[in-house]
Amino acid sequence: MATVHETIDRARLRELIERERGKLLARTEGSQRYYERALAVMPRGVPSSFQAADPRPIYLSHGEGSHVWDVDGNEYVDFHNGFGVMCVGHANAAIVRAVRERAGRGSHFAAPTEGSIVVAEELVRRFGLPQWRFTNSGTESTMDAIHLARAATGRDLVLKIEGSYHGHHDAVMVSVRPPLDQLGERGVAASVPFGAGHPRAVSELTRAIPFNDADVLERVLEDTGDSVAALILEPAMMNITIVAPRPGYLERVRELTARYGVVLVFDEVKTGCTIAAGGAVERFGVQPDVVCLAKAVAGGYPSGAVGMTETLADLITSGSVRQVGTFNGNPLSMAAAQAALTEVLTAEAYAGFEERDARLRAGLDDVIERYGLPCHTVGFGSKGCVVFSSEPLYEYRDYATKVDEELSTLSWLYHMNHGIFMTPGVDEQWTLSVAHTDEELQRYIDAYEAFARDVTAA
């Protein structure tokens, strides 16, 4: 990745990275033993490649409230929160009670239970879409959304946003992290497959355009609009740090997709139930045709959900689209979702996220200013991050050329070595839970200040 931050002493930065990597490895020798065992039975020693991290994964033993413990007994305040799932905090009493009670009466029937009705009713209230189905993951939610869009329109092409991740099914594993030299001309919709194993013929049906540029969308729709089934996008991009929509962008996207009969899919796997009760729909006030949820929706249990208009729902009712799954609406996941959405993630909880996001970002902004770091903060509700770039990001091409990967890596190491469990890599953000206290937010700021002091020391 290119970087433009020449004020930082690179040699010193690399030395600090080596020093902090060494410290982390030394503090987590138990993880090393797990890692060696795991490598014998799982590629990269992890159940999902997203759990692989440099210098190696840290294996956790348990969590409670805002804290997690690794297998060496190190305690951390958790800002990773399971890649944005655990807004309810770990082992939240309301969720534990609901799941325990449900488990004692049977955990799975593949027949509907009342829990799924209650959760669907709550999602109607939050997101304003009248019909819902359940899935087991974000991947399944976006896959179902695209099936619905193709069935509704009789068209095959899908538009997505350059640099966005929507799960790992064929239709969306396109232009997720396109290398700079394969990006092509800006504004020309392109398909760069992400990973092997996806048929070329399928990848080519998905084309990526830049975020925050409705003029490009308009041009692409003028050329190909009558072949496009869906535009899928994260209303605020959350897999390349956080990239907010420019004022008016989502409104124009809504207007253009409606004009060309293109199904507008909001992938709210990350924003849903985190940046407001009704996710991006509520926060930005734009209503799509489909909302995809997963992660935080089920309070730490595996479930996804797809919300849709009555017209799209009719395709499922008629049997035209086969939206199915043995574990869809699993009673345990529904019990957890019901408790999360109706008891824990209340209006007060969302007000609390706003306050804590503001406090945390103010503390970090102050450090950034005092040490003259080439960084800024972005946040909405329970989601936020430091972006390691002095300039704002509007789209993937900004992210790929402006974010300072080395600075970000060092900051992550400082957090981990100061007892802050944080998402590895440059792409992610923190997730606040209802359990975080002001002292714990201060701990995050203090660790960031230790990083700032050391990396800028003459």
Ligand X SMILES: Cc1ncc(COP(=O)(O)O)c(C=O)c1O
* Binding-site ranges for ligand X (CB under 6 A): 83, 137-139, 142, 165-167, 234, 239, 267, 269-270, 294
| Residue length of the chain | 458
Q: Helical H runs in 386-429?
A: 396-402, 405-417
Q: Which is nearer to ligand X, 141 or 377 (CB)?
A: 141
Query: Least distance from C-beta 227 to ligand X, angstroms?
Result: 24
Q: Which is nearer to ligand X, 193 or 225 (CB)?
A: 193
Query: CA-to-CA distance for 249 and 241, rounded, in angstroms?
Result: 19
CB neighbours of residue 267 within 10 Å: 32
3-state helix, strand, coil in the chain (%, to 5): 45, 15, 40
Query: Least distance from C-beta 234 to ligand X, angstroms?
Result: 5
Q: Which is nearer to ligand X, 412 or 414 (CB)?
A: 412
Phi, psi (5° rounding) for residue 369? -70, -45
- Torsion angle in degrees (nearest 10) through CA of 367, 369, 375, 379: 70
Query: Least distance from C-beta 343 to ligand X, angstroms?
Result: 23
Query: Least distance from C-beta 294 to ligand X, angstroms?
Result: 4
Residue among 46, 26, 27, 23 nearest 36 (CA): 46
Q: How far is CA 185 from CA 50, 111, 399, in A?
A: 30, 50, 16
Nearest residue relative to ligand X (C-beta): 138
Q: Which is nearer to ligand X, 142 or 206 (CB)?
A: 142
Q: How far is CA 19 from CA 12, 13, 15, 16, 410, in A?
A: 10, 10, 6, 5, 10
Query: Least distance from C-beta 179 to ligand X, angstroms?
Result: 20
Query: Least distance from C-beta 307 to ligand X, angstroms?
Result: 15
Phi, psi (5° rounding) for residue 206? -115, 130
Query: Least distance from C-beta 138 to ligand X, angstroms?
Result: 2
Q: Which is nearer to ligand X, 50 or 371 (CB)?
A: 50
Q: Which is nearer to ligand X, 193 or 235 (CB)?
A: 235
Q: Which is nearer to ligand X, 32 or 239 (CB)?
A: 239
Helices 438-456, 347-371: axis angle to 10 degrees equals 20
